[in-house]
Amino acid sequence: MVLEVLEYEKKRYMKIIIPMAGKGTRLHPHTLKTPKPFFPIVGKTILKRLLENLSKLIKIFSIDEIVFIVSSNNNNGNYNIEKNLIKLSNEIGVHPIIYYQEKPLGTADALLKAKNSLIGPIIIIYSDTLFYNNNFENELDSKLDNIIWTKKVNNPNIFGVVKCNSLGLITHFIEKPNDYISNLAIIGIYYFKNSTLLKKELEYILDNNIKNEQGEYQLTSALENMRKKGIKFFSKQVNEWMDFGCKKTIISSNSKILSIEYSKKENKLIHKKSIIKNSLIINPCYIDENTIIKNSIIGPYVSIGKYTKIINSNIKQSIILDNTEINSVILHYSMIGNYCYYIEKIKELNLGDYSTSR
């Protein structure tokens, strides 16, 4: 009984740590002004969606503290990251703690900036990834000391991957393997029952200057060293995972979220204050307030922000943000930011028989 009480008390003080100090270079130019976790997807920022997805976990385990690791140079333009992190944390009833990474030296270096919070059980989750229809609560109650959540992927060479035995015990951690070793990708959510052990290994990685080929200190290196020392890690596979690391995955994930939310809300994804005239909307689509669409075909899988105007255009599987004007354009698999002005010039054509214009 005493052990059960102690176990419960440890879980009561579990912390969530969210590293988000990256520059988001794979999403330039969209992240030059807006940090990637604050990029809007179907009307909500990626980070807000992540915190909402974690709300059940936060309630069950009485988590009252979330740790954010941000870049000390990450206040893009007028975007006040600290103010937004405090606001988002208050909305879900948790206390935010913010640490800073001065230089982008890798995930191990970033996590060590939060060493004062690496005590007791923790969940580490990266800010450019979302999870749906998963069972984290039961898996955390499975009495396993360390869990790495994974997903089978078609391109494991761009991820850190794990090899497991038949029981799910991880036998190897490999960072972005050149040759096929496993298709179980590490997708950015980890549980450590005793994070002090992780802190010691992160310190060892930095003290001994253990870097990857890109000159970065990686969490995967620390995990592999811990495994070699006899610390056990188990892989648990997620049901639905959405990545927001680059343009391709953002557009794909936007499409998935549109499908999920449209099945629940149907036409509520189209704001009642939007103006749609002589146009065809092929759902699922998200159209925010005060947006004007005329003489156009929109969809499927298109998200459009507020105060945007689209005229005489055909747009599908794309993301268009706020206060943008588009006229006489055909767009597919595209991203257009805030305050853009894109009008295709009218062409005068004189084509003969069997001609092709590109």
Q: Tell me the percentage of the chain whose pLDDT exceeds 70.
A: 87
pTM of the model as a whole? 0.86
186-205: pLDDT as tens digits? 999 999 999 999 999 999 99
Same domain, 228 and 306: no
348 in a structural domain: no
Same domain, 85 and 233: yes
Q: Which of 79-88, 111-120, 174-183, 209-218 has the highest mean pLDDT?
A: 111-120
Give me the number of domains the chain comprises: 2
Going by C-alpha positions, the residue among 239, 255, 287 that lies closest to residue 136 is: 239
Using left for φ > 0, alpha for ψ between -120 and 50, and beta otherwise, residue 154 falls in alpha
How does the average pLDDT of the chain come out, rounded? 86
pLDDT (average), residues 180-184: 90
Same domain, 179 and 293: no
Provide the 10 A C-beta neighbour count for residue 72: 12
357 in a structural domain: no
Q: How far is it, in rounded angstroms, from Cα 20 to Cα 79?
A: 15
The CATH number of residue 135's host domain is 3.90.550.10
Same domain, 182 and 321: no
Confidence of residue 349 (pLDDT cuts 50, 70, 90): low
pLDDT tops 80 at residue 351: no
119 in a structural domain: yes
22 in a structural domain: yes
CA dihedral in degrees (152, 153, 155, 161; nearest 10)?
-40
Q: How far is it, in rounded angstroms, from Cα 125 to Cα 249?
A: 18
Q: How far is it, in rounded angstroms, from Cα 161 to Cα 150?
A: 8
Same domain, 42 and 165: yes
The two tokens of residue 208 are 């001994």
Same domain, 195 and 339: no
355 in a structural domain: no
SS3 330: strand
Beta strands in 46-94, from DSSP E residues, in sequence order: 65-71
pLDDT at position 135, please?
Answer: 78
Last residue of a domain, one of 196, 212, 245: 245
pLDDT (average), residues 14-40: 78
Going by C-alpha positions, the residue among 120, 74, 135, 78 that lies closest to residue 100 is: 74
349 in a structural domain: no
Q: How far is it, in rounded angstroms, from Cα 191 to Cα 145?
A: 8
Same domain, 127 and 225: yes
The CATH number of residue 333's host domain is 2.160.10.10
Same domain, 50 and 181: yes
255 in a structural domain: no
Same domain, 179 and 303: no
pLDDT (average), residues 221-246: 91
Same domain, 202 and 57: yes
Range of the domain at 68: 2-245
Same domain, 319 and 212: no
358 in a structural domain: no
Q: How far is it, in rounded angstroms, from Cα 303 to Cα 281?
A: 11
236-255: pLDDT as tens digits? 999 888 888 788 889 999 99
pLDDT at position 240, please?
Answer: 85
The two tokens of residue 286 are 């998200």
100-144: pLDDT as tens digits? 998 888 999 999 999 999 999 999 999 888 987 677 888 887 788
- Among 101-105, 133-137, 175-179, 208-212, where is mean pLDDT lowest? 133-137
| DSSP 8-class letter at 289 | T
Provide the 10 A C-beta neighbour count for residue 187: 22
Same domain, 37 and 90: yes
Cβ atoms of 130 and 53 closer than 8 Å: yes
Last residue of a domain, one of 179, 213, 245: 245
Maximum Cα–Cα distance across the chain: 88
